[in-house]
Amino acid sequence: MGDVLILAEVKESGLEKSTFELITLAKQLAKELEGKALSIVLGKDPTEAGQELRRFALDSVYKVQDPALEGFVPEVWLNTLEQVIKELRPQVFLMTHSPVARDILPRLGLRLNSTVTMDCVEVKVDPSDKRLLRKKPIYGGNAMAVLKCKGTPEIVSLRKNSYPMAQADGQVSELKELTLKITKDLVTQVLETKKRDIVELDKAEVIISGGRGLAEKEEFSQLEQLAAVLEKKGIKAMVGCSRPIVDKGWMSSDRQVGLTGTMVAPNVYIAIGISGAIQHLVGMVRSKKIIAINTDAGCNMFKVADYGLTEDYKEILPLLIKKLEETL
């Protein structure tokens, strides 16, 4: 038995897109391991998501339904998933490299006496021993490590945008419910959730990012003006930043581009006063056109940029805003 189980993550309007990538990978691996491709969805009422999953020709779709599974409460989810895996006994367990995975998988791995590899971009089967070959970027993407690990199930989290999305092919699989003991006594308690208006940088057509080269928080207003001009012309433009700006508390973390922020690939990425630390570059290097503005001609950002300007952004931005208003 070499079954492959995935956890389908759900957002307000259905399944997370990344789940479709997991399905693609699960089917590939299940074929090579001569096992089944299985999916589990957890929630207060995950029936709708379960129904959506049924259309992807998986071998089985399972759900666990309980009011305590609403939202994401780490302790509850961890205990539930541990039971799911003990019940279904997969050879491989896959999740998207999401905040849920980051919180749960290390602990789940330890409980199941297995070794987890986080943030993989490719997973294959070694034909000689049927163990997984887990490829993950290290040193901020400066090298790729291929690892083999001990323990069953083999547990991996998959970086978004690594596999093509599976298409629903009409074959309907059964939706089964697992009845488990859901934890109710919690050691840690969530007292309050503060929702913020979250900027979804990965939806932008143009991103204007600022870094350490900006001396004060207020200087971001010029970047916002530039974004506003583009918005006025019907272009989805957003302001982003590099990690030091979030560390200083000038911007919230949803605006951070990079390995620990959002990975983006807009049509145009404008990097202002960003020197180009590896962890930032990895997050934006897939952008179609990269424009760097920096007074230091030797900085790394120019090495990955299509166009460069070695001017003080404070002088060039007002002019650029004016020109864009005329040109667009």
Partner 1 sequence: MKELKMIVCAKQIPDPEAPFSAVSVDTQKKIVSVDAPDVINPYDENALEAAIRLKETIGGFITVISVGASLSDTVLRKAIAAGADELILVEDPAFQDIDSNGTAYVLKKTIEKIASYDLILTGRQAGDWDSGQVGLILAELLGLPCVSMAAKIELQDSHLLVERVVPIGTELVKTPLPSLVTVSNEVGELRYVSRSKILAMLKKRIPMKKMSAKDLGLETEKVSKLELVELQPPPDMRRQCVFIEGVNLEEKAQKLAQIIKDSI
Which residues 155-184 are close enough to bind partner 1 by CB under 8 A? Answer: none
Interaction mask 244-263, partner 1, x per CB under 8 A: x-xxxx---x-----xx---
Interaction mask 223-242, partner 1, x per CB under 8 A: ------------x-------
Cβ distance to partner 1 smaller for residue 55 or 111: 111
Q: Is 202 in the site for partner 1 (CB under 8 A)?
A: no
Cβ distance to partner 1 smaller for residue 167 or 310: 310
Cβ distance to partner 1 smaller for residue 117 or 209: 117
The one among 44, 86, 102, 176 contacting partner 1 by CB under 8 A: 102
The one among 31, 48, 144, 203 contacting partner 1 by CB under 8 A: 144
Separation CA 259–CA 203 (nearest Å): 17
Smallest distance, Å, CB 64 to partner 1? 21
The one among 130, 165, 232, 307 contacting partner 1 by CB under 8 A: 307
Separation CA 174–CA 170 (nearest Å): 13
Pick out residues in 38-77 that bind partner 1 (CB under 8 A). 72, 74
Smallest distance, Å, CB 290 to partner 1? 7
The one among 47, 221, 267, 295 contacting partner 1 by CB under 8 A: 267
Q: Is 306 in the site for partner 1 (CB under 8 A)?
A: yes
Give, rounded to a whole angstrom, the gap between the first and last alpha carbons of the chain: 60
Separation CA 316–CA 309 (nearest Å): 9
Helix (H) or strand (E) holding 175: strand 175-177
Candidate ranges 28-36, 52-60, 188-196, 214-222; the one touching partner 1 (CB under 8 A): 188-196
Taken in order 134, 36, 86, 41, the sign of the CA dihedral is positive
The one among 137, 178, 202, 219 contacting partner 1 by CB under 8 A: 137
The one among 35, 109, 211, 213 contacting partner 1 by CB under 8 A: 109
| Owner of token pair 């979804």 | 200
The one among 36, 63, 243, 255 contacting partner 1 by CB under 8 A: 243
- Measured N-to-C along each axis, helices 220-232 and 313-327 cross at an angle, to the nearest 10 degrees, of 10
Candidate ranges 25-33, 56-64, 83-91, 266-274; the one touching partner 1 (CB under 8 A): 266-274
Smallest distance, Å, CB 249 to partner 1? 6
Q: Is 142 in the site for partner 1 (CB under 8 A)?
A: yes
| Largest distance between two CA atoms of the chain | 65
Nearest to 97 by CA among 156, 54, 173: 156
Separation CA 232–CA 137 (nearest Å): 39
Contacts 24+ apart (CB under 8 A), 255-258: 255/199, 255/201, 257/201, 257/207, 257/209, 257/283, 257/284, 258/282, 258/283, 258/284
Is residue 272 within 8 A of residue 208, CB to CB? The reply is: yes
Separation CA 281–CA 83 (nearest Å): 40
Smallest distance, Å, CB 76 to partner 1? 13
Taken in order 150, 154, 155, 159, the sign of the CA dihedral is positive
Smallest distance, Å, CB 182 to partner 1? 18
